[in-house]
Structure 1
Amino acid sequence: MTTPLPPDGVDAIRSASRRLVRELGFMGGRFAGTDLSPSAVHALIEIEGGGLTARALAGRLRLDKSSVSRMLRKLVVSGDVAESADAGDGRIKMLALTADGRRRVAAIHAFARAQVTGALDRLPPGVAGTVLDGISLYAEALAADGGPPDAEIEIVNGYRTGLIARVTEMHALYYARASGFGRRFEAVVAGGLAGFCERLDHPRNAIWSAWRGGEMVGSIAIDGEDLGAGTAHLRWFIVDDSARGTGLGRRLLATALALADAEGFDETHLWTFDGLAAARHLYEAHGFTCVEERPGDQWGTEVLEQRFVRARLTAGPQSAASQRRT
């Protein structure tokens, strides 16, 4: 049941947000049990995922490049972070945690988990999921008003060099952090996507990638063959952390669904996992309904898998060919 916002609800949310910032230690003191600044703690956690440059880190943290550069210099001097030349382009410096950095991040995670667990234990039974859904949706809504404008991100159709590797990387990094998936998941994503790209000449299959400044920051695909006649499969939908909050996810989803409708698929299906509240909200806003849930451990970590289905909308004035050119 939806709870209406009371007349003073906006100010109440502002007050709760200020208290949250204070209780988490953003105003001073030992943030996350360390002597580091909040931005440095967040930087270490992001670097832990791997595959980051200083530029990408600045995008994720919403900080200017000069601030990130100064912060990284301190983390390198302290022995927490190491820089190395990228194998493909020596001008690009890749960031990684040192052994000391990994130990520090492990301590940060332990402190933060204990902090969250302690707070949840003080709540009434059965409301922890409500907290997760609420804070996830609120953070997503705040992020939607920040970040680079949509105009800076171009969505293109079809295969481009490096697409399989980059889409696989985005999935592997995100789901390792969000769901604990590892080698098995990454291998399945890479193999499935490679096989699908061999079928892109078939007219009812399509993949789109989103590009900003020469970097791929998102993808989505419609597989019109693997689920049988009349059913489209929405696959490989991912937005890089640096592009979250720009509206890119909505743009990619709308692009793919427009093609599914124009091609006359009766239904569009997708598989996801329980716990991704912001993603579920996005799917439901575009007409998807969860029709099946089942536990699964095919990725090496047990999760509650969910199947969402959306019925076809009446085709608009654009033809299928024009949708594929989006």
Structure 2
Amino acid sequence: MKLTRIAATLLSIGALGSMSPATAQELTGTLAKIKKAGSITLGVRDGSVPFSYLDDKQQYQGYSIDLCMKVVTALQKHLGLSQLKVVMNPVTSANRIPLIANGTVDLECGSTTNNLERQQQVAFAPTMFVIGNRILSKKTANIKTLEDLRGKTLVATAGTSTLKQMTILNKEKNLGMNIAIAKDHPESFLMLETGRAVAEANDDILLASQVASAKNPGDYEITKEALSVEPYGIMLRRNDPAFKKAVDDALVRLYKSDDINRIYAKWFTAPIPPKGINLNFPMPPQLKAVLANPTDSGDPAAYAAVPEAQKTSDKKKK
């Protein structure tokens, strides 16, 4: 009996030891870098409302930043740190991938589409949002479909998958569009607002936030036609399995808790700063399904986020 108790005690001590924070000797890659520096660098956006943006107090906030801060808390515990300094590093659509790849930024907390092409350069954490690429225009322009933009000026943001998609579709469909390139999302909307472009192509939730923030929201409309349905994910460096596992585990725990519903409601169904706009964007069924079964795949065929109506539409197009 004594031997049994001793063995049980030793097993218990071993189990506790296996659950202790990671030691410096065990760490490699980004985890080792963060532990040594006592800080983590987040890539943030100035105007990707409501995901990552500057408020009127020049503070970065948003849905993506809230998720990243949950990850930061988990990493601090994992590394056994009493505190972990957070450095906010502004990024753009054009430079976000290079800054992740070269180690300047540890986590990109913005509104980045996860696709197979980008996975050749960076890694992605489990999907945090699902969007449809659509077109925004003034109602007076009467733009209902992509075909209605034949020979007209469309604006898209530099470095986005939407810009690449519009360029490809313009050529494939011989639309003769003039595609203007803006440096960021606010500039894209400004070009539409001031008449330098007839329409803006972007992710539907970003377009919805632009309309809600506009001087005259009733002047604009977003097409019902979705040109594609894609996942958003937090970016991190490739070939760093220990760091990716720590980030993924933190997000999966969050997705399986009630906190994710609270965070979602805070940014999509309640007034948000600085103007108190409410996007009134309840969590769609496809996003609920993805959060219930997290995936970091950027292959549309690998996740069940595409509405049946869109699948049918895509089949007809083929």
TM-score (norm 1): 0.26
- Structure number with the higher helix fraction is 1
Q: Which has the higher contact order (CA 8 A, sep 6+)?
A: 2
TM-score (norm 2): 0.27
